[in-house]
Structure 1
């Protein structure tokens, strides 16, 4: 296998994104939560989750975010997000304090092995999939609320009853805000009105949205970063004394040029697969363009599986890690524990990109998916490392 060394090793709690909310809850006195990140104790904690804020991006473009940059220079830490480095997996790790191997939200598109269908875990959940049954572990919000903490989610209105919220971020109460300013002001009001220990999760989607559309460093992306920096600065300046404000990201982002957005299921002029060796014996494709998950048919024997693995390695091995599910599990990608119910959701064969490449099944995704500039999903440092910034009033 060529290219950089395979990322390996379970991320310890004191370097993991999964520890942010549990540490915040522990700082508020919630029993059973470990303060692995040494969050300062207080009566109010705000966790601002900036979707798409990778550590390398803050380093490159910190001139547009002086508040975030100063906090990073003044004691900020680098954490590692979940694998796959995708919002559904990372937010569920954040919300439960668990790795993917335990909570089971194992990517953007994931196989439901019980029904033999692929479901989209970000916004396209199958109606037959019960979010609580799919992710039954208690959330940090549920534990906090049970301990007498006012647990509050401040997010977009569309997410109040979304399946992902019910799976990984359920519990407490929800305050909606359509714009960044509205959400920041809502978080501020909750802090000012607090009469009991209060934990606020404040979701910011604007940076990720701009990056997917126009790319990292684009005018739209830089404007979003500047607006987010200003919103965080105002929030820190206006919350009451005794409030701790944390900011982090759920993943980073890399740009992929149009010529490197590849349809591995493209058809030839006769309407047949142009490269059938890549999909021999494959029942389902899932995952995301930078971490493809392939599920074999039950009748695909060892010879077929090895041929397909070799085919992927020959085509894309210079730009991606090609490995089996067992190899990824052994490498610690999904945490120290991978429950049986979760293992079956993970692809039999994984293709995790480390170059400027995105791999699509054009039979399964809409045409506009190929227009996405900024991408994430693989366990590269650019996609996995996120900052943890702390302010104490």
Structure 2
């Protein structure tokens, strides 16, 4: 868009108006497999042979909304912005805190995530707007990851598309972020292999067709996602707290069912860590990857990790490899284990997301010239 201080790492074309559509939970594999329910987006993918931009991106790690949206909103790797999972340990309070919808009152969002967002960096240079659900207007997650734009709330997907198109039309230059939540919700509740999920994909497809037909002709529409999803059958959702050898010496558990953080007792020695890793590998070694914190950091899973975020990472990380999910039922409610669609790990299904450049089909006003 011409703003200084940024690099065009995705090799995108210049545009005066850009609309970034973030579809929660739309993995690249799911979109490809269910393209029959998305004829408009299927056509976009089939016709997208021009330009140098990549067609596939990788979600941040862990592959979960709080982490990926903050990387999108700030341009920082997780090890810097510190949003390292659905819930993680706050070392200052010695307690596990939620970073999504049930934010802990003792955590200041802007202190927890201190880096300026892209919106804040563009303040005074390019108008910016967020179109999302009204309940997210002042949420701690928004203040941590996406602060700094004009927030426009709209409840239904149709209303969000309309607000986005009208807002773009009202500004000759604008960066607009449009959040689409419904697909992820259907996947968690019913699974990505359900009729509910397919129905929401059809709704998304219709919404993107409508958006392309109503935004100004010089708009660049980019569709991507924060993570993919895999369905985990009920027998494969494991309460690991029932196995004493997997939690002996563990002070806190956190993370996602497919990417577990285990935090050891302060007085635990190297032997405790080695024993726990061996116990997890013995029971789930073919179904999960088990890493120490030092191994994960050294291998770059979180990018470069700043000192202030290091204590939020578990001493041991358990990453689901097969179709399985891990729960500590001592600290989560019974509803948690009923979730069907899951994400958080490093499999392709969870990390690979699309980057679609959607052609605008709106016509220029009669008598005007396109630039």
- TM-score (norm: length of structure 1): 0.89
1:223-302 to structure 2, matched below 5 A, reads 223-266=199-242, 275-302=243-270
1:315 equivalent to 2:291? Answer: no
Cα offset, 1:39, TM superposition: 1.9
Unmatched 5+ residue regions in structure 2? 361-371
Partner of 1:306: 274
Aligned partner of 1:269 in structure 2 is none
**In 2, distance between residues paired with 1:159 and 1:123?**
9
1:222 to 187, 191, 198: 198
1:130 matches 2:130? no
Q: Supply the distance in 1 between the matched residues of 2:218 and 2:171 (Cα, whole angstroms).
A: 11
Shift in Å, 1:171: 0.3
Are the counterparts in 1 of residues 190 and 340 from structure 2 also a CA contact under 8 Å? yes
Once the two structures are TM-superposed, the CA of residue 392 in structure 1 deviates from its matched residue by 4.4
Which consecutive unaligned segments of at least 5 residues does structure 1 have?
Answer: 1-27, 267-274
Which of the numbers 38, 49, 54 marks the counterpart of 2:22? 49
Residue in structure 2 matched with residue 163 of structure 1 by the alignment = 140
Equivalent position SS for 2:355: strand
In 2, the alpha carbon distance for the partners of 1:319 and 1:280 equals 21
Q: Which residue number in structure 1 is paired with residue 311 of structure 2?
A: 344
CA distance in 1, matches of 2:175, 2:321: 36
Residue correspondence of structure 1 range 306-385 to structure 2 within 5 A: 306-335=274-303, 337-385=304-352
Q: Which runs of 4+ in 1 moved over 4 A?
A: none
Q: Is the 8 A contact 1:61 1:217 kept in 2?
A: no
Query: Does the residue aligned with 2:67 lie in a helix, a strand or coil?
Result: helix
Equivalence for 2:6: 33
The corresponding residue for 1:110 is 88
Conserved in 1, the CA contact under 8 Å of 2:258 and 2:325? yes
Supply the distance in 2 between the matched residues of 1:392 and 1:256 (Cα, whole angstroms). 35
Q: Who is 1:145 aligned against?
A: 123
For 2:147 and 2:187, locate their aligned partners in 1 and report how far apart those are by CA, in whole Å. 27
Residue number in structure 1 paired with 2:33 = 60
State the partner residue of 2:363: none
Q: C-alpha separation between the residues in 1 aligned to 2:302 and 2:3?
A: 26
**Conserved? CA contact 1:242–1:392, under 8 Å:** no
Instruction: Give the count of matched residue pairs.
Output: 355
What secondary structure does 2:209 align onto? helix
> Pairwise CA RMSD of aligned residues?
1.0
The whole-number CA distance in structure 2 between the counterparts of 1:158 and 1:310 is: 44
Q: TM-score, normalised by structure 2?
A: 0.94
State how far apart, in whole Å, the 2-side matches of 1:33 and 1:157 are: 30
Task: Give the Å deviation of 1:192.
Answer: 1.2
Alpha-carbon shift at residue 70 of structure 1 (Å)? 2.3
Tell me the distance in 2 between the aligned counterparts of 1:47 and 1:321: 34
Match of 2:159 in 1: 182
Aligned-partner SS, 1:146: coil
**Paired residue for 1:173?**
150
C-alpha deviations, 1:215-237, integer Å up to 9, x for none? 11311100000000110111011
Q: For each residue in 1:14-60, what CA deviation from the matched residue of structure 2 results, as whole angstroms up to 9, or x when unmatched?
A: xxxxxxxxxxxxxx122212111122211110000000000000110
Deviations 1:324-357 (A, max 9, x none): 011111222111x111111111100000001110
Q: Alignment partner for residue 191 of structure 1, among 151, 168, 181?
A: 168
Query: In structure 1, what is the Cα distance between the partners aligned to 2:281 and 2:44?
Result: 42
